[in-house]
Amino acid sequence: MKLKQRVVLLAILLVIFIFTKVFLIDNLDTSAANREDQRAFQRMLSGLRVALDPRLEHTLQSPWEIAAQWVVPREVYPEDTPELGAVMHAMTTKKIIKADVGYKGTQLKALLILEGGQKVVFKPKRYARDYVVEGEPYAGYDRHNAEVAAFHLDRILGFRRAPLVVGRFVNLRTEIKPVATEQLLGTFMTVGNNTCFYGKCYYCRETEPACADGDIMEGSVTLWLPDVWPLQKHRHPWGRTYREGKLARWEYDESYCDAVKKTSPYDSGPRLLDIIDTAIFDYLIGNADRHHYESFQDDEGASMLILLDNAKSFGNPALDERSILAPLYQCCIIRVSTWNRLNYLKNGVLKSALKTAMSHDPISPVLSDPHLDALDQRLLSILATVKQCTDQFGPDVVLVEDRMTLSHL
């Protein structure tokens, strides 16, 4: 064989070797990542039940100190949380030492200070479990049980971006009124034999109070994030106009995602993929009201999109508002880890997992069966949407590997 032919042959063999090595490494990396996703899913399933137990073993810290230390830029709480039951027990049982009107917003809530100085947001019950909210997908009052269910769905999806939420019964006469500020106390009233209040907010009206059953009011409490992690508010790029006859650009421009990708913080970093994770989360719970979102301040786009204020959810189990998925079907990208997790939750696993996760909550049953059934149906729609994307663009374009090492030092 001539020298020139030998050189050409060696060059071809070298190219084949390089491509084979790259292919094998990629497949090994993908396979290893998939195996880790499977292990993480099994760990999630094994830790679903959270017994509300006051015991905190192997620590002298308060539950509030423990929860505060969990928070990092990409997680509100870690995957392994043996103290979760103790923190949630404290949220639902600790003495209320102050009650005030809620922070700014459109819906009724109260800001409570629990023993030990921990702030929580209390959202009162407004609807029976089987009540169906008709009209627009963002219609109606906040649903306190939706906050509880959304927190546990966040755990199941492996996002860990929602603040802790648990149900709680409070006695308005003995627990709230004695420690209420004048501003809150001035909104209390009696309707029949029931104690009620209407609070202070954009839509709060004296004619539309939230009423207890006698003095006992069911509600949810959301753990306030630590003050060392101040929040920054952002307009959601796929937000609605809330004006009849006026569409947002994303509602008529199918190439809208291309424009979003050219603007900060969506042109780099994890934020756009967070938006798509959130669209999936919101579609599952039926939340079409995420017009803004929060991240941590001065994050330069690296912070997670925090899943706050999920109470405009689980209103109508028969309404699957596809427009919530616009970030997914317009951008046609999704994290591999999210895609894997969604596939593990098929065939009734999602409904069963959420039912199990919520079973120990003080206000259980948290959701009616039609809402649980709707979750499984919506999951199929999400998977079908991703398949349409992969059929059009290929899995290498649609499925994005974006895993971040998270530290809880």
Please check whether residue 177 is in contact with residue 188, taking contact to mean a CB–CB distance below 8 angstroms: yes
Bridge partners (DSSP) of residue 170 are 217
* CA atoms within a 13 Å half-sphere pointing along the CA-CB vector of 30: 14
Would you put residue 189 in left (φ > 0), alpha (ψ -120 to 50) or beta?
beta
345 annotated ligand-binding residue: no
Whole-angstrom Cα distance, residue 404 to residue 5?
A: 47
Q: Is 309 annotated as a binding residue?
A: yes
Of 240, 264, 247, 250, the C-alpha closest to 331 is 250
Give the residue numbers annotated as catalytic, written as ranges.
289
Q: Would you say 350 and 383 are in contact if contact means Cβ atoms under 8 Å apart? A: no
**Of 219, 232, 243, 240, the residue nearest 326 (C-alpha):** 240
Q: What's the farthest any 2 CA atoms get from each other in the chain? A: 104
Residue 231 · residue 298 · CB < 8 Å:
no
223 is in an annotated binding site: yes
Task: Tell the burial category of 164 from Cβ atoms under 10 Å away from its Cβ (0-12, 13-18, 19+).
Answer: buried
Q: Within 209-325, where are the H helices?
A: 256-260, 271-285
Burial-class residue 277 by CB neighbours within 10 Å (0-12, 13-18, 19+).
Answer: buried
107 is annotated as contributing to ligand binding: yes
For residue 224, say whether it is annotated as part of any ligand binding site: yes
Q: Tell me: is residue 123 an annotated ligand-binding position.
A: yes
Which residues contribute to the annotated binding site for Mn(2+)?
142, 309
Instruction: Show binding-site residues.
Output: 107, 123, 142, 222-225, 294, 309
